[in-house]
A and B are shown apart, each in its own frame.
Chain A
Amino acid sequence: MSSIYRSVFDIIGPIMVGPSSSHTAGAVAIGRAARVIFQDVPTKVTVHYYESFAKTHRGHGTDFAIAAGIMGFAPDDKRVPKAPQLAKAAGIDIRYVEEEGPSPIHHPNTAILEMENGSHHTTVGGCSVGGGAIEIRSVKAQNVELTPTGPLPMVLYLDRDKNLHQIQALKEQLMGGSQLKERKKKATTGDLYEFDTLKNLSPEKIAELEKKYKGIVFLK
């Protein structure tokens, strides 16, 4: 069993603005995750849609949903349908491209977001697997490309110092007695790690780790 869905609230919920949990609420979640990974306000975002997303994004409100996610709105925020105008006013230029052919991350509901501002460029590939749940299947940051395990919760960390000692300490903190899956990509700019914690971490623990590990990303 893949166990993409881990909480009863993945099934009963989310509370959201219609019309589609996969194409609207899930798209908000992809936009939010991308913004969290980018760790800054992008000035330009290019959204590449594939398969069902490419065919039906206009009818499902996927465009305003992605924009809402980039703005950091929750799926039940009443501002969701107005997000493109609000993003434009905030200086974020968002373009949407309908791509032909199959999704490079192998899911019919795929959006790949290229985000940039003056200082950096990040690409995040997300798919909406149903009921508002998402997976993040590709991340490219600081020219390092990683293929994460997919399901959330997920922890991403770019280790610029290549300090294995520090990574071992982080892993022990994340595990807390339970399982931990890990993916790693080495590069000259740093080693990019992804950890699948299987269970959600407490807000206190996240705050503690964020202080200790600069730039660490928690997706849930």
Chain B
Amino acid sequence: MYESIKQIVTTAEKKKQPICQLIIDAEVADSGVSRDAVWNKMKRNLDTMRQAVKKGETGAGVHSPTGLTGGEAIKVKKYREQHKSLSGDTMMGAVQAALATNEVNAALGVICATPTAGSAGTMPGVIAALEDRLHLSEEQLVNFLFTAGGFGLVIANHANIAGATGGCQAEVGSASAMAAAAAVEAAGGTPQQSAEALSIAISNLLGLVCDPIAGLVEVPCVKRNAIGTANALVAADLALAGCTSLIPADECIQAMDKVGRNLPSSLRETGMGGLAGTPTGQRIRAKIFGKDVK
């Protein structure tokens, strides 16, 4: 696989090949598995993502065992049907898919981690927007996932993708950056524009803390995915418009790593600081787990 974002961009430029192709080739070479098997595995991931979105948007919505999350994707769906939203229907459709996915996740439903379960809604949100605006085929969507995964591997190996080590920036931030870079390619942008989108997306969520109420992947995780999706789409559009990041992509990833290391443990998935540490957050924790919980 690739060592840096720069290496991905220069290889794609030199070979005049789309990034998705490079990533598929690398996966086939590294895994020793056939191209068909690699492709089918990614297609199964896409199918799972779509099923989760569908599940979260039907009926009364899905609710977590604690009752803290559920039913908000449905609210957005109804709002879109009855009102003219401020940020436009593509954006709110993406937000709806993101919320739906994380509501299914919080309800112990089946999802595809992209890169994590807590950030599983960001990518499906962007997919919903790409389908709406660009009418991408299934093949193009599978390619989108390979590109996103290739960029994500560099982030994971140079920074990290766990809230417990890097905060939410490592989860929703990484998901948003991967999705932004892959969305640029899907929309016909250059490899360098993908790297710019990744940089912008990371920069905009840098420092985001992981502060789940009662330590549960529910609040604020579900709505953070709405922002991860929106941020990805804005970053991709900025890059496609020709805007650039002053700081190169690989340095943005390094910055994210350092910020993550400097976050106190209370803001890294311990359910102690941030929103989890508020009087209301603590009250909910005590109600769910009893007062003896530290």
Contact = CB atoms under 8 A, between A and B. Distances in A.
Given A19-B105, A22-B164, A81-B108, A14 B215 contact: no
B269 A18 contact: no
Interface size class of A (residues with CB under 8 A): 35 or more
Contacts of A107: 165
Nearest to B118: A20
Given A12-B148, A16-B117, A18-B104, A130 B112 contact: no
Interface in B139-174: 145-146, 148-150, 152-153, 156-158, 160-166, 170-171
Contacts of A10: 115, 153, 156
Given A12-B152, A15-B44, A55 B215 contact: yes
Interface in B177-218: 178, 212, 214-218
B107 interface: yes
Which of A16, A19, A78, A107 is packed against the most chain B CB atoms within 10 Å?
A19
A52 B116 contact: no
A187 interface: no
Interface string A117-129: 0000000000011
B217 A108 contact: no
A152 B149 CA distance: 19
Interface stretch (B24-32, B80-88, B128-136): B24-32
Contacts of B164: 22, 51-52, 108-109, 130
A109 B212 CA distance: 16
A127 B145 CA distance: 27
B11 interface: no
A12 B45 contact: yes
Nearest to A78: B110
Interface string A21-52: 11111000000000000000000000000011
Contacts of B217: 18-20, 23, 59-60
B35 to A, nearest CB: 13
B265 interface: yes
A56 B215 contact: yes
A52 B45 contact: no
A52 B108 CA distance: 20
Contacts of A108: 164-165, 265, 268-269
B13 to A, nearest CB: 21
Interface of B: 1, 3, 23, 26-27, 30-33, 41-42, 44-45, 48, 64, 104-118, 120, 123, 145-146, 148-150, 152-153, 156-158, 160-166, 170-171, 178, 212, 214-218, 265, 268-272, 288-289, 294
Given A13-B112, A52-B269, A130-B161, 14 more contacts: A3-B157, A8-B42, A11-B153, A13-B45, A15-B44, A18-B107, A19-B218, A22-B116, A51-B270, A52-B270, A58-B289, A108-B165, A131-B162, A202-B32
Interface of A: 1-25, 51-52, 55-56, 58-61, 76, 78, 81, 107-109, 128-132, 199-202
List 10 tightest A-B contacts by C-beta distance, closest first.
A130-B162, A56-B215, A18-B105, A8-B149, A11-B152, A59-B215, A19-B217, A21-B113, A21-B117, A52-B164
28 contacts: A1-B3, A5-B156, A7-B30, A8-B1, A8-B26, A9-B42, A11-B153, A12-B45, A12-B152, A16-B113, A17-B108, A18-B106, A18-B109, A18-B110, A19-B105, A19-B216, A19-B218, A20-B116, A20-B117, A21-B115, A21-B118, A51-B270, A55-B270, A59-B271, A60-B217, A131-B113, A200-B32, A200-B33
